[in-house]
A and B are shown apart, each in its own frame.
Chain A
Amino acid sequence: EAQVTQNPRYLITVTGKKLTVTCSQNMNHEYMSWYRQDPGLGLRQIYYSMNVEVTDKGDVPEGYKVSRKEKRNFPLILESPSPNQTSLYFCASSFKGASGRPGNEQFFGPGTRLTVL
């Protein structure tokens, strides 16, 4: 089944304790992206990757790191989490279009609900 998976689905942690949220897709998509979703603010893009070893900042990259060492995986790293990073996180992927842009449809993972105390 074509899908984007994220782990963990739920995480409660404390300020300053490094964590990684994994994202994996089995559709051979070039484009992958991380979003956070907060009430009243909608989905905001954190980082994205156009291909292996190619990453770029979205609108809210502060406090986050990513890496793209393999095409299928795009982990999100919080080196020193803070309470303002409490949020619902989504990973998404899509094909790269013919023009080199992201393709039509982004497939979203199930989400990771993170609470930082």
Chain B
Amino acid sequence: EDKVVQSPLSLVVHEGDTVTLNCSYEVTNFRSLLWYKQEKKAPTFLFMLTSSGIEKKSGRLSSILDKKELFSILNITATQTGDSAVYLCAVEGHSGTYKYIFGTGTRLKVLA
């Protein structure tokens, strides 16, 4: 059965800290892995990764994929209170259908 597992479930840090969020997966015919940020509303897109070892970067956020070990990490450096959110990992698989499997998310709280 396809699954995406995120860890930790929740995390509390102080402003300025660096955090690493993990996403491991077992999905039939992996196509891509996506990271989303969800505040008290709809998820918003952060990154899409398809190739191993290539880091995607946007400001203080970066992400990398390891297709051999079937995981991805999302790093946030110099965290700010505005980074407080649930971070979702989703994997696109294709076993005859184009499905997205989401993890349950990591809830990050950044304290001032």
Contacts and interface: CB of A to CB of B under 8 A. Distances in A.
Contacts of B103: 42
B95 to A, nearest CB: 12
A40 B102 CA distance: 12
Interface string B78-112: 00000000001010101001111111110000000
A110 B48 CA distance: 21
A104 B56 CA distance: 13
B18 interface: no
A101 B102 contact: no
B99 A101 contact: no
B43 interface: yes
Interface in B39-59: 41-45, 48
Q: Is the interface of B mostly helix, strand, loop or mixed?
A: strand
A90 B100 contact: no
Contacts of B45: 104-107
A110 B90 contact: no
Interface in B3-29: none
Contacts of B67: none
Given A101-B31, A101-B92, A110-B42, 18 more contacts: A33-B100, A42-B88, A42-B102, A42-B103, A43-B102, A45-B99, A45-B102, A48-B98, A56-B98, A57-B97, A90-B42, A101-B98, A106-B45, A108-B43, A108-B44, A109-B42, A110-B41, A111-B41
Interface of A: 31, 33, 35, 40-45, 48, 50, 56-59, 90, 101-102, 104-111
Interface of B: 31, 34, 41-45, 48, 88, 90, 92, 94, 97-105
26 contacts: A35-B102, A40-B104, A41-B104, A42-B103, A42-B105, A43-B43, A45-B99, A45-B100, A48-B98, A50-B98, A57-B97, A58-B99, A58-B100, A59-B99, A59-B101, A90-B42, A90-B43, A104-B45, A104-B48, A105-B45, A106-B45, A106-B100, A107-B45, A108-B42, A108-B44, A111-B41
